[in-house]
Amino acid sequence: MIQLEKLGIFLSRPIAFLLVIIYLIQSGLLVYMVTQKFELEKQIAFQQRRINELEERLQIFKAIDDFQIGFNDEEVGELTDVIYSESRRYQYDPMFVLAVILTESSLKKGQLSHKGARGLMQVVPFVGEDVAPRAGVEWDGAHTLYEPESNIKVGTRHLFEQILKFGDVKKALVAYNMGETRLRSLMRQNKPLPAKYLSKVLETYKMLKETYKV
């Protein structure tokens, strides 16, 4: 009887070891499967973000191409890139940036206003020189504002700073258009915001959103 009990103990040890091995293998497979599932979900999410980004860029490209005056296809692509990147930087809707550009310059290359504002976002040189370092633009005189990428970087940064100062997008747009000093003067006198420019930007933005579905 003792001999059989010893034999049972002897036999149970390798069986127990085998069960432990099986358990470890199963656990390892489970961890592997969970890890693979997690990695697959990450890859799917990444690819979906890429698809969404490409779709958004395509709509921006289409909108620019439909309205631009004087730019070739390569330049339209460059405008798409800078509008997309600067919009992400400052948390703008790209179509909002494009609405400001269309309102300011009709997306026409080399625009110069009678007040000396230059480029796509119609930035005056003294503002451009002040904002350029904060926008990551190397300032090389007023003609810098005729470079579309530099102009958009300076313009979007300037508008962003107005939003921070006034805490209100509508007031920031008015300040962008007529100047911070004049806006503060209106505010001190409790006068209403000028409606024409503001309405044009908002109507253009609405049209772009409805047309290009971004």
Quick one: average pLDDT of 153-168?
97
According to the model, what pLDDT value does residue 112 have?
A: 96
pLDDT at residue 27, rounded to an integer: 74
Mean pLDDT of 152-157: 98
Q: What are phi and psi of 110, to 5 degrees?
A: 75, 25
CA angle 57, 58, 61 (to 5 degrees): 85
pTM of the model: 0.79
Q: How confident is the model over 28-71, as pLDDT tens digits?
A: 777 777 777 767 676 766 667 777 788 999 999 999 999 999 99
Number of domains in the chain: 1
Q: How far apart are CA 46 and CA 60, in angstroms?
A: 21
Confidence of residue 124 (pLDDT cuts 50, 70, 90): very high
Lowest pLDDT segment from 44-48, 81-85, 113-117: 44-48
In terms of Cα–Cα distance, which of 143, 193, 145, 139 is closest to 171? 193
- For residue 53, what is the domain's CATH number? 1.10.530.10
Give residue 20's pLDDT. 74
* Owning domain of residue 130: 2-212
